[in-house]
Amino acid sequence: MKKNVAVLITCHNRLKKTKKCLESIYLQKNIEKINIKIFLVDDGSNDGTSEYVKENFPKIKLIQGDGNLYWGGGMYLAWEEALKYEQNFDYFLWVNDDVIFFEDGISTLLNTVINKDNIVVGSFCDPVSKKTTYGGVVSKKKILNAFGLKLVEVNGFPQEVDGINGNGVLIPYLAFNQIGKFDKQFYHAGGDLDYALRARKKNIKIYLTHKHVGYCERIQSYKNVKSFKDIFEKKSLPPKIWFHFCRKHGGNLWILHFFFRFIKLCFKIIINIIIKK
């Protein structure tokens, strides 16, 4: 029996990258027993993305955003549309539109499903250096930094991880049925880690693929703030969002975790200002 996979993507004014991503999905090999349906949210692009998709990928379910959804909001909307679709899906696959899958990328994700409800996160590498850029992460907890994370390198075997980068994540329906959709308050950064932590609380395991499943260049992290204005940047983890995250996952010391991050960021910004002078 064929497996039905809903691919959830959000894009905004990155037509060249979105095009390559979609092409890589349709060029997948060894997925004869898989039905793929793409749900693409175009969050207010003005670079011709929607027109291009309509003309060249007519089978894609295209959903229009107003430019204020960001990644989390767009993925939430794509998920809602997938759940309304006439067929039931066995898997939901999150995909960033800057990902280029290898020809066996999606089949690798599917073959890493060990138990029917385990989540699989794909490992991605830089197209030039071939160094790992995104994938699974493990916790390196400290007293005041409960959410410290370390990127995991592939080693030829599936590895259990604590958290995920949302670039390419396969979620079985059985897992979704227990966890649910995105928390809408994470409209950009933080939503993928929140989802992983919610999965762990349900005793749902997360595995990293045994090898890289595609290319994805590393972009600037929300941790790399250079000014006080950056702390409140919507694509970062502004205080309101970080407060919500700490309340959910910080335990009894959540307020300390909340303040520790901003003290550390402010210190880095001050040092950066001093160095520039």
The whole-number pLDDT of residue 109 equals 96
DSSP 117-152: T-EEEEEEE-TTT--EEESEEEE---SS-TT-EEEP
CA distances from 252 to 3, 142, 143, 203, 255 (A): 42, 14, 12, 21, 8
Cβ(7)–Cβ(37) under 8 Å?
yes
Helix axes 239-249, 254-276, angle to 10 degrees: 140
- Strands of 157-239, DSSP E: 159-160, 163-164, 168-172, 206-215
The whole-number pLDDT of residue 224 equals 63
DSSP 24-85: HHHT--S-TTEEEEEEEEEES--SSHHHHHHHH-TTSEEEEE-S--HHHHHHHHHHHHHHHS
With a cut of 70, list the residues of the chain below it in pLDDT: 141-146, 220-228, 272-273, 275-277
* Residue 118 to residue 202: CA distance in whole angstroms: 11
The whole-number pLDDT of residue 108 equals 96
Q: What is the residue-averaged pLDDT of the chain?
A: 89
The whole-number pLDDT of residue 228 equals 67
The whole-number pLDDT of residue 260 equals 80
